[in-house]
Amino acid sequence: MIEPLFSKDISGCAIVGIINTKGKPIKGDVITEAISVMHERSNGLGGGFAAYGIYPEYKEYYAFHIMFLDEGIKESVEAYLQEKMVLVKSEDIPIRKKMSFLNTPILWRYFLEVPQSKLTPKITEEDYVVSIVMNINKRFKGAFVFSSGKNMGVFKGVGYPEDISRFYRLEEYEGYLWTAHGRFPTNTPGWWGGAHPFALLDWSVVHNGEISSYGINKRYVETFGYECSLLTDTEVIVCLLDLMIRRHRLPIDIALNALAPPFWSEIDSMEKNMREALTALRIVYGSALLNGPFSIIIANSESMIGLTDRIMLRPFVAAKKDDFVYMASEEAAIREICPEPDAVWSPKGGEPVVARLEVQI
Amino acid sequence: MNFSYPEFLVKVSENCIKCRRCIKECSFGVFSWDGEKIKINHEKCVACHRCAACCPASAITILKYPVSFKENHLWTEEILRDIKKQADTGGKILTGCGNDKPYPVLWDKMLIDACQVTNPSIDPLREPMELRTYLGKKPEKLEFWHDKSGEIKLTTVMEPQIKLETPVIFAGMSYGAVSLNVHLILARAAKELGTIMNTGEGGLPQELLPYKDHIVVQIASGRFGVNLEYLNSCAAIEIKIGQGAKPGIGGHLPGEKVTEEISRTRMIPAGTDAISPAPHHDIYSIEDLRQLIYAIKEATRYRKPVGVKIAAVHNVAAIASGVVRAGADIITIDGFRGGTGASPKVIRDHAGLPIEIALARVDEQLRKEGIRHLASIVASGGIRSSADVLKAIALGADAVAIGTAALIALGCHLCQKCYTGLCAWGITTQKPELTRRLNVEEGALRVTNLVKAWNLEIKEILGALGINSIESLRGNRERLRGIDLDEVYLDVLGIKPAGR
């Protein structure tokens, strides 16, 4: 495993997401077909998937996917996990061992529980898990937690997304929500941790773009104790969402407005309540504004959200068919798996598309 | 015997049409009429260029006085002149304007990023570019309430904010140090630009009341002109603890400058010296500052932000943290290049810190302590151009204050003789025949033009950075690189070297 040399991830990319709002399972090959249509948008230096609803038998436990440089670092991280968490199950992540990729790390997954004794009124279970993840990523050189939610998992590596899917045998998984990413980095070496999605707890983000405001977004989340260990701009989006939605309890729509707010000229002409709300939002959460070209698909166990920057400098298309909602960089990717959608549209810059799960999983 | 001799040589060429305008224009008394031609007293020239600028025949040239000192890097010409002056007079040397010594200008050692290929730059002529800035205390987070219809309402009560349409504001300059016309010009420009001017410590002239929503009133150690009406005739109140040009030093407006009008505004008898003590005599420590901040907040019913201005000194980060914890809503940090109407030269030239360093340290310290949201940071002291503004914001400033740059737009040539009260451009003088040289309408237009031009340039650079709102640049040090700086400087500034 190679650590990143550059602190900024410059890349063009392909993204796609599918959700079944009734929670019906979708097989991993479906999203693989969609992302592979956009092969030209990646260059073989990064592909990845996030899947929700894939570990129903362990849905009460935090599923950590960790990549290790060698057995030595794996042992020390495992000792640390034993000390801090209750280990329910530990196993290797199933892969096709014959496929060869650049710098393939050791890939392992753990199902973990938080010991109640570690919690205080000030530290919630989720805060505790976040701190464990940050600690491993920051302090254990050669180890990297790339997935830490419940009943969900991230699978990623250095390769074209369709190859990464085969490598992880994703056709064997079923989930109600999938996102995928194909990467076209211009400057990072083949580091597995640098591929998308980025995830923290059950939040995951696939991102096409470059965040011109990264420097301040990063410093902003750092004041709240987040550590951007990966040094890539996408990770900061996950931290911002975790901060605003989980810790500050902002309504999701409001938090999305902080990431891509309307222009002042629009806010000034809104009716009073909305004007006051958004004015305050921009005043207080200005450092959370994501500036620069991006389209992203954000997911958690309850929803899938698509968002572009305020002036839509990256492509983004959404579609609907029965219980399914699709989002992608290109319409072709959606048509590949859903030839005749009920509706296809290209949302306005900064206008989120939110697809919520309508059932309890 | 007087050992001092002229600094400048004034020459009148044969083009002179003997109109004698230079005699009228020079307030320092360089020119006189001997019945046939212009007589020149070189000794009095300060190089303010008023004569040259006004001469209809372009007949006047001003040169450095051509005496060659024996070259010496220790005993420089300036040192020799100062020693002789002090031997002549036995006094401390006074000066005006900001530190002019060749300390490194760190603005010129920082380079701005730009977009290429992977990230499109944005054309400010086609896309919106937002410079709007709010100064004041912010809550750490917001709370909202949803009603049944899905309507969202903000439930957090926001502290008072000053809304600015540009991140450039005008620095505190007192009525007394500058003329009423300067105040009127800055107030008008502030209104036109959607920004604020600062009265400095000399009270609020009645003529400025129509502009009160664009005025910050100052409370300094002299407490001139402070009463309830003063505190309520403004957008915000600033407690001035220090000034970059003279950290730790008070102020002294000589009695001859205290005219009837200034006496009324400052609320002191006409003709008496207006003394601002070095410290506030009711602030001997941080808890006293807190009391004053809250006394002012009480007096203004918590409707106005209360700021504190400090000079950039060695321990500025810790001091700023204390000031913010004491309740300041805005903290202004004035670097050692900041201007002054009068300061002992030895202090101006040797005390304090560059604003670049102070700003970087304060922003970082407040972030480390998790209290950055509690106060806005205004940086001042030697901001010369839109590039400086941009770099200051990228280092972490919410806004920058300009004083000297605005005065240069009005004609100031940095002759550094503000303390004499003889300013030939009508800026730092109270003599009616001089102050009327400054036309309020024209001056307001010139200052407005300057800031508008900077706004355009800032938008241009933001576009090149692929950013369409100033808050995405604020504190975004990732977009700066240091050139020709050693590791310690880079570390203090919190930026990477060029090439990384």
Q: What is the pLDDT of residue B119?
A: 84
Q: Is residue B62's pLDDT more than 90? A: yes
Phi, psi (deg, nearest 5) at residue B123: -85, 110
Q: For testing the chain B interface, which of A213, A246, A249 should be mutated: the one with the most B CBs within 10 Å?
A: A213
Structure-model confidence comparison of residues B283 and B255, the more confident one: B283
Minimum Cα–Cα distance from A291: chain B residue: B467
**Would you tell me the crossing angle of helices A252-259 and A272-284 to the nearest 10 degrees?**
60
Buried b (16+ CB within 10 A) or exposed e, B376-406: bbbbbbbbeebbbbbbbbbbbbbbbbbbbbb
Helix (H, G, I), strand (E, B) or coil at B463: helix
Q: What DSSP state is assigned to residue B381?
A: S
Task: Name the strand (E) or helix (H) holding B447.
Answer: helix B440-464
Average pLDDT over residues B72-76: 95
- In this structure, the dihedral spanned by the alpha carbons of residues B45, B46, B50 and B52, taken in order and rounded to 10 degrees, is 60
Q: Chain A 313-332, CB below 8 Å of chain B: which residues?
A: 313
Q: Is residue B1's pLDDT more than 70? A: no
Query: Cα(B194)–Cα(B173) distance, rounded to whole angstroms?
Result: 19
Query: Cα(A50)–Cα(A65) distance, rounded to whole angstroms?
Result: 12
Helix (H, G, I), strand (E, B) or coil at B218: strand
Calculate how close chain A gets to B121, using CA atoms only, in Å: 9
Average pLDDT over residues B240-255: 92
Cα end-to-end distance, chain B, whole Å: 61
Q: Chain A 235-264, CB below 8 Å of chain B: which residues?
A: 247-251, 253-254, 263-264
- Which residues of B are less than 8 Å from A248 in CB distance? 141-142
Residues 6+ apart with CB under 8 A from B255: B271, B272, B273
**Could you list the residue range(s) of the whole structural domain that residue A101 is in?**
11-356
Query: Cα(B450)–Cα(B184) distance, rounded to whole angstroms?
Result: 16
Query: Cα(B89)–Cα(A179) distance, rounded to whole angstroms?
Result: 81
Q: Please report, for the domain that includes residue A319, its CATH number.
A: 3.60.20.10
- Taking residue A354's Cβ as centre, other Cβ atoms within 10 Å add up to 14
Is ipTM over 0.90?
yes
Q: What DSSP state is assigned to residue B176?
A: T
Q: What DSSP state is assigned to residue B178?
A: B
- Number of structural domains chain A divides into: 1
Q: Chain A 138-197, CB below 8 Å of chain B: which residues?
A: 186
Q: For testing the chain A interface, which of B155, B162, B469 should be mutated: the one with the most A CBs within 10 Å?
A: B469
Among A39-43, B172-176, B201-205, B370-374, the least confident range: A39-43
Q: What DSSP state is assigned to residue B343?
A: E
Burial of B23 (0-12, 13-18, 19+ CB in 10 A): middle
Q: Are B255 and B200 in contact (CB under 8 A)?
A: no
- A3 lies in a domain? no
Which domains does chain B carry?
8-91 (3.30.70.20), 162-497 (3.20.20.70)
Comparing CB atoms, the residue among B119, B127, B373 nearest residue A212 is: B119
- A2 lies in a domain? no
Q: Are B398 and B426 in contact (CB under 8 A)?
A: no
Query: Cα(A112)–Cα(A135) distance, rounded to whole angstroms?
Result: 16
Q: What is the pLDDT of residue A188?
A: 59
Q: Which two tokens stand for residue B441?
A: 């309408």
Q: What is the pLDDT of residue A187?
A: 58
Q: What is the pLDDT of residue A185?
A: 77
- A297 lies in a domain? yes
Residues 6+ apart with CB under 8 A from A287: A216, A217, A219, A220, B471, B474, B475
B393-444 tens-digit pLDDT: 999 999 999 999 999 999 999 999 999 999 999 999 999 999 999 999 999 9
- A278 lies in a domain? yes
Query: Cα(A350)–Cα(A353) distance, rounded to whole angstroms?
Result: 10
* A291 contacts B152? CB cut-off 8 A: no
Query: Cα(A22)–Cα(A360) distance, rounded to whole angstroms?
Result: 9
Secondary structure of chain A in the HEC alphabet? CCCCCCCCCCEEEEEEEEEECCCCCEEHHHHHHHHHHCHHHCCCCCEEEEEECCCHHHCCCEEEEEEECCHHHHHHHHHHHHHHCEEEEEEECCCCCCCCCCCCCEEEEEEEECCHHHCCCCCCHHHHHHHHHHHHHHHCCCEEEEECCECEEEEEECCCHHHHHHHCCHHHCEECEEEEEEEEECCCCCCHHHCCCEEECCEEEEEEECCCCHHHHHHHHHCCCCCCCCCCHHHHHHHHHHHHHHHCCCCHHHHHHHHCCCCHHHHHCCCHHHHHHHHHHHHHCHHHCCCCCEEEEEEECCEEEEEECCCCCCCCEEEEECCEEEEECCHHHHHHHCCCCCEEECCCCCCCEEEECCCCC
- A164 lies in a domain? yes
Comparing CB atoms, the residue among A247, A289, A313 nearest residue B471 is: A289
- Which residues of B are less than 8 Å from A210 in CB distance? 118-119, 466
DSSP H stretches of helix in B311-439: 316-325, 345-350, 355-368, 386-395, 404-409, 432-435
Q: What is the pLDDT of residue A11?
A: 57
- A137 lies in a domain? yes
- Quickly count helices (H) and strands (E) in chain B: 15, 23
Q: What DSSP state is assigned to residue B172?
A: B
- A105 lies in a domain? yes
Q: Are A320 and A342 in contact (CB under 8 A)?
A: yes
> For residue B200, is it left (φ>0), alpha (ψ between -120 and 50) or beta?
left
Instruction: Name the residue type at position B498.
Output: A
Q: Which two tokens stand for residue B214?
A: 């664009």
- Closest by Cα among B1, B7, B45, B8 to B424: B45
- Closest by Cα among B50, B18, B47 to B34: B18
Please confirm whether the linkage preceding A94 is cis (ω < 30° from 0): no
Q: Are B381 and B335 in contact (CB under 8 A)?
A: yes
The residue ranges of DSSP E strands in B65-192, in sequence order, are 94-95, 110-112, 133-135, 144-146, 152-154, 162-164, 168-170
B197-236 tens-digit pLDDT: 999 999 999 999 999 999 999 999 999 999 999 999 999 9
- Closest by Cα among A99, A205, A71 to A157: A99
Calculate how close chain A gets to B128, using CA atoms only, in Å: 8
Query: Cα(A130)–Cα(A110) distance, rounded to whole angstroms?
Result: 15
Calculate how close chain A gets to B225, using CA atoms only, in Å: 33
Among A221-235, B59-73, B74-88, B255-269, the least confident range: A221-235
- Which residues of B are less than 8 Å from A280 in CB distance? 142, 154, 156, 158
**Local confidence pLDDT in tens for the 361 residues of chain A:** 344 444 445 556 899 999 999 999 999 999 999 999 999 998 888 899 999 999 999 999 999 999 999 999 999 999 999 999 999 999 999 999 999 888 899 999 999 999 999 888 888 999 999 999 999 998 999 999 999 999 999 999 999 999 999 999 999 999 999 999 998 876 556 688 888 999 999 999 999 988 899 999 999 999 999 987 665 778 899 899 999 999 999 999 999 999 999 999 999 999 999 999 999 999 999 999 999 999 999 999 999 999 999 999 999 999 999 999 999 999 999 999 999 999 999 999 999 999 999 998 8
Query: Cα(B369)–Cα(B242) distance, rounded to whole angstroms?
Result: 24
Q: What is the pLDDT of residue A3?
A: 46
Minimum Cα–Cα distance from B466: chain A residue: A292
Minimum Cα–Cα distance from B157: chain A residue: A280
- A197 lies in a domain? yes
B255: pLDDT confidence band, cut at 50, 70 and 90?
Answer: confident
Active site residues of A: 13
- Counting other chains too, the contacts that A273-278 makes at CB distance below 8 Å and 24 or more residues apart are A273/B151, A273/B152, A273/B153, A273/B154, A274/B152, A276/B153, A276/B154, A277/B144, A277/B152, A277/B153, A277/B154
- Which residues of A are less than 8 Å from B118 in CB distance? 10-12, 186, 210
Q: For testing the chain A interface, which of B134, B154, B159 should be mutated: the one with the most A CBs within 10 Å?
A: B154
Average pLDDT over residues B274-294: 95
